[in-house]
Amino acid sequence: MSNLSKPTPPAGGRDALEVEIRNKAFQGADGSRVEAIAEIAFRVEPASFATLIGPSGCGKTTTLRIILGLEQQFEGRLRFPDDGARVAAVFQEPRLLPWRTVEQNVRLALPETEKGADLDILFEILGLDQMRSRYPGELSLGLARRVALARAFAIKPSLLVLDEPFVSLDEQTATRLRQLLIEVWSARPTTALMVTHNLREAVQLSDQIIFLTERPARVRGIHRLDKPRAERDTRWRETTLSSLAKRYSGVL
């Protein structure tokens, strides 16, 4: 039995991620008030994968920043999967330290008590076994993003937040990375929330897709994808894409 076929317990907490943002505004360059989010409310069930999708500038990344605690001035409430939740984030830029090796960059996120943790399976799943002693300057963007994923999963997060982790990659590389993300996530399911502009990507990865309106953002609709990922063949994906594109016309 391979490592990937062994049953593994969910990594996320017992509770759902609950997000309720009743208002979020910024001060514009001219001093005026800019309302970014009017009202957003949704929940992500434990060990499930949700995607936020909507027009550019509609508040998707702002929502993630609020969840990560990087934006604290807002009206609303958050409930995390468990108390003292370990939250991992993967951004558009891999943000690797150039003077540390791949393995050192991954282990950097581990608590002191877990610095010697066995990460062999994680490196194997992500195809980084032969890259552990390399430095970021020796990596392609696709490989650097694999390292960023490894760093996020290494801490065994109860909540994983991803901000367009595959943007600007060619489609072949992006497709491979999406497959790797699902493999490593499936090996240890955790509650995950990802921002993307790519509806096809959302259909491939998600258990639910949360559609947002233009700024100030509101939830336009939530679509649940109940079909197991292994059964999402080309015909099903194309039918689903066509249906969602019609139902949420203009949202992308």
pLDDT tens digits, one per residue of 104-118? 999 998 988 888 889
Task: Return the pLDDT at 31.
Answer: 79
pLDDT of 28 > 70? The answer is yes
Task: Return the pLDDT at 59.
Answer: 87
What is the residue-averaged pLDDT of the chain?
Answer: 88
Q: Cβ distance 121 to 8 under 8 Å?
A: no
pLDDT of 247 > 70? The answer is yes
| Domains of the chain in sequence order | 3-86+156-247 (3.40.50.300)
What confidence category does residue 137 fall into, taking pLDDT thresholds of 50, 70 and 90?
Answer: very high
Task: Return the pLDDT at 84.
Answer: 61
Task: Return the pLDDT at 10.
Answer: 55
pLDDT tens digits, one per residue of 143-178? 999 999 999 999 989 999 999 988 888 888 888 899
Q: Is the peptide bond before 216 cis (omega within 30 degrees of 0)?
A: yes
What confidence category does residue 4 fall into, taking pLDDT thresholds of 50, 70 and 90?
Answer: very low
Per-residue pLDDT, averaged over 119-138, amounts to 93
Per-residue pLDDT, averaged over 21-42, amounts to 89
Per-residue pLDDT, averaged over 38-44, amounts to 95
Per-residue pLDDT, averaged over 40-60, amounts to 92
pLDDT of 214 > 60? The answer is yes
Q: How far apart are CA 252 and CA 174, in angstroms?
A: 19
Residue type, 218: R
pLDDT of 229 > 70? The answer is yes
Strands 17-27 and 75-79: antiparallel
177 token code pair: 């990375």
Host H or E run for residue 184: helix 171-187
Task: Return the pLDDT at 6.
Answer: 42
Distance of CA 130 to the CA centre of its chain: 25
